[in-house]
């Protein structure tokens, strides 16, 4: 955990996809600094576990089963959060999937639609429902999880790359449309993060990921959570419409100039 201190006492935060990974790390971080945390996920057991972890640490949390690809489900969750906690101040729209790792011409159309529905359309659904309750209260902070793949392209990740580029565009549009409502909307762009998925990769693939990461290590989920905390805090009060890279320098690097793995 960071040694920077925040105090979100009395504020309510919604985190989608908070049953695991970055979402869980953010939910735990928000709970640790006093926020009422609405844990939203389609996976009930995983979401319930996140709630118990927050409560065990002395925080306040409630689970809300949510299918982010269904606008009615999103609306129902937002309404339930407001009923339970009295409002909504912070939203981290984080739920997402990667999809197939194949060249664009080989992507199945049903997988394309699934990735776009969960990674892009769902962010629109969430923002739409969130601003409807934040604006009458005078504002709030929305943070969307994009990706380094929202700023550059990854091989064999066309659907994910398109969706995450879309999240950044949607973030900018929402930021300017709702700035006068007192709502700040930003995106966070994780690079390679140490998740169960990456842990299962062969070592040679992990080494290749690190070759494109100037800091030469994988990021930790809590390092993304700390970026979310800052974007949700008053410390970023004049920041809106931005895409914050938390990626160990991945996007800044031109990987084609790195010859360190070659013998010449």
Asked whether 68 and 16 are in contact (CB, 8 A), the reply is yes
Query: Is 160 annotated as catalytic?
Result: yes
Residues 6+ apart with CB under 8 A from 133: 78, 82, 87, 88
Residue 26: half-sphere exposure toward Cβ, Cα within 13 Å: 32
Whether residue 14 contacts residue 130, with contact meaning beta carbons closer than 8 Å, is answered with yes
Going by their DSSP bridges, the two strands 140-145 and 12-16 should be labelled as: unpaired
Q: For residue 241, how many other CB atoms are within 10 A of its CB?
A: 16
Q: Which helix (H) or strand (E) holds 224?
A: helix 221-232
Catalytic residue among 6, 124, 160, 238: 160
Bridge partners, residue 244, by sequence:
188
Q: Which residues are catalytic?
A: 160
């Amino acid at each position: 955990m960071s040694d920077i201190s925040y105090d979100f006492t009395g504020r309510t935060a919604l985190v989608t996809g908070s049953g695991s990974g970055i979402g869980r790390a953010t939910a735990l971080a928000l709970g640790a600094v006093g926020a009422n945390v609405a844990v939203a996920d389609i996976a009930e057991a995983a979401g319930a576990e996140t709630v118990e972890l927050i409560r065990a640490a002395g925080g306040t949390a409630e689970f809300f089963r949510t299918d982010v690809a269904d606008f009615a489900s999103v609306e129902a969750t937002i309404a339930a959060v407001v009923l339970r906690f009295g409002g909504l101040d912070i939203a981290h729209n984080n739920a997402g999937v990667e999809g197939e790792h194949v060249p664009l011409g080989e992507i199945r159309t049903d997988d394309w639609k699934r990735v776009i529905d969960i990674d892009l359309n769902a962010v629109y659904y969430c923002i739409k429902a969130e601003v409807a309750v934040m604006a009458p209260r005078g504002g709030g902070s929305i943070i969307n999880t994009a990706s380094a793949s929202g700023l550059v392209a990854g091989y064999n990740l066309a659907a994910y790359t398109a969706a995450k580029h879309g999240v950044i565009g949607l973030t900018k549009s929402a930021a300017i449309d709702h700035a006068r409502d007192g709502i700040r909307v930003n995106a966070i762009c994780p690079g390679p993060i140490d998740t169960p998925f990456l842990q299962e990769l062969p070592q040679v693939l992990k080494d290749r990921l690190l070759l494109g990461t100037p800091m030469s290590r994988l990021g930790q989920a809590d390092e993304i959570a700390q970026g979310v905390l800052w974007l949700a805090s008053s410390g970023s009060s004049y920041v809106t419409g931005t895409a914050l890279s938390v990626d160990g320098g991945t996007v800044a690097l031109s990987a084609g100039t790195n010859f360190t793995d070659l013998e010449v």
